[in-house]
Amino acid sequence: MMGYGQAYGHGYGSGYGGMMGGGFGGLLMLLVGALFIGGIVLLVLWAVRASSPHTAGNAALAAPHSGMVGHDEAVAIARRRLASGEITPEQYTEIARTLGS
């Protein structure tokens, strides 16, 4: 006895290209679905990064004193080098004068 949708072997999933049969059509649908989901993920990531205050376009808002932090760090390194004997007091003075402190 034949069930619904199974007359003459043309039911769901029968043969190549059937609704559940796989083959090229199933692979193509899988690929299109993966690309769709990947596109949505990339769109969400782009939206999150664009709204973040730490992007390159808003660098001045994110770290207004970033130049001073690098300057202070350079002076601190020179002080440590002076304290450890790597440089002379004259070299430290020249470094500090060059950095403008």
- pLDDT tens profile 63-88: 444 455 677 888 889 999 999 999 99
pLDDT at 26: 87
Residue 14 in this model has a pLDDT that exceeds 80: no
How far apart, in whole angstroms, are the C-alpha atoms of residue 100 and residue 94? 10
The residue among 9 and 84 whose pLDDT is bigger is 84
How far apart, in whole angstroms, are the C-alpha atoms of residue 99 and residue 95? 6
76: its two tokens: 């601190």
Integer angstrom CA distances of residue 53 from 24, 44, 57, 61, 85: 46, 16, 9, 7, 42
How far apart, in whole angstroms, are the C-alpha atoms of residue 20 and residue 37? 21
Q: What is the pTM of this model?
A: 0.35
Give domain limits for the chain.
14-51, 65-99
- pLDDT tens profile 32-57: 999 999 999 999 999 998 887 764 55
In this structure, are residues 92 and 79 in contact, taking their beta carbons and an 8 Å threshold? yes
Name which of 7, 73, 26, 100 is nearest 81 in CA terms.
73
Residue 62 in this model has a pLDDT that exceeds 90: no
How far apart, in whole angstroms, are the C-alpha atoms of residue 10 and residue 25? 16
